[in-house]
Structure 1
Amino acid sequence: MGIRSWFGLDRPEAPEPVRSGPPTTEQLLGALDAIEAQAREGKVPGVVLSRLLRVTRIVRQTLPRLSNLGLGSSQGFSVMATATDYLPVAIGNYLRLPRDWADTRPIAAGKSSVMLLVDQLDLLGTTMDKVYDAVCRADAEAIIVHGAFLEQKFGQASGGGVLGLGPDPVRVAPPPGTGSSGTADPSGAVSTSPSPHPLAPPE
Structure 2
Amino acid sequence: MGFGDLLDRMLGRAPATPDEERMVLPAPPTAEDVYAALDQTAELLASSALPSAVVARAGRVVDTVRDTVPRLRRISGSDLGYTVVATATDYLPEAIGAYQRLPRRYADTRPVDGGKTSLMVLVDQLDLLGVTLDRVFDAVYRDDARELVAQGRFIAEKFGHAGAGGSLRVDGVQAPLPAMPEDPDDPTGVVAQVGVTPAAPADEADGPARLTPPEGAR
Q: Distance in 2 between matches of 1:9 and 1:120?
A: 49
TM-score normalised by length of structure 1: 0.71
For residues 10-159 of structure 1, what are the structure 2 equivalents within 5 Å?
A: 11-13=15-17, 14-68=20-74, 70-143=75-148, 156-158=158-160
Is the CA contact (8 Å cut-off) linking 2:31 and 2:72 kept in structure 1? no
Instruction: For structure 1, list consecutive stretches of 5 or more residues without a partner in the other structure.
Output: 170-195
TM-score normalised by length of structure 2: 0.66
Q: Which amino acid aligns with 2:125?
A: Q
Q: Which amino acid aligns with 1:84?
A: T
Alpha-carbon distance change, 98 to 147 in structure 1, aligned in 2, over 3 angstroms: same
Q: Distance in 2 between matches of 1:54 and 1:133?
A: 15
Is the CA contact (8 Å cut-off) linking 1:51 and 1:122 kept in structure 2? yes
Alpha-carbon distance change, 50 to 167 in structure 1, aligned in 2, over 3 angstroms: farther
Q: Distance in 1 between matches of 2:121 and 2:67?
A: 26
User: Deviations along 1:59-80, whole A, 9 cap, x unmatched?
Assistant: 0000001223x21111110000
Alpha-carbon distance change, 10 to 114 in structure 1, aligned in 2, over 3 angstroms: closer
Q: Which moved more, 1:30-39 or 1:156-165?
A: 156-165
Higher relative contact order (CA 8 A, sep 6+): 1
Alignment-derived partner of residue 163 in structure 1: 177
For residues 154-193 of structure 1, what are the structure 2 equivalents within 5 Å?
A: 156-158=158-160, 160=167, 161-164=175-178
Could you tell me the percent identity over the aligned residues?
41
Is the CA contact (8 Å cut-off) linking 1:39 and 1:91 kept in structure 2? no
Number of corresponding residues: 171
Residue 135 (structure 1) shift: 1.3
SS of the aligned residue for 1:21 comes to coil
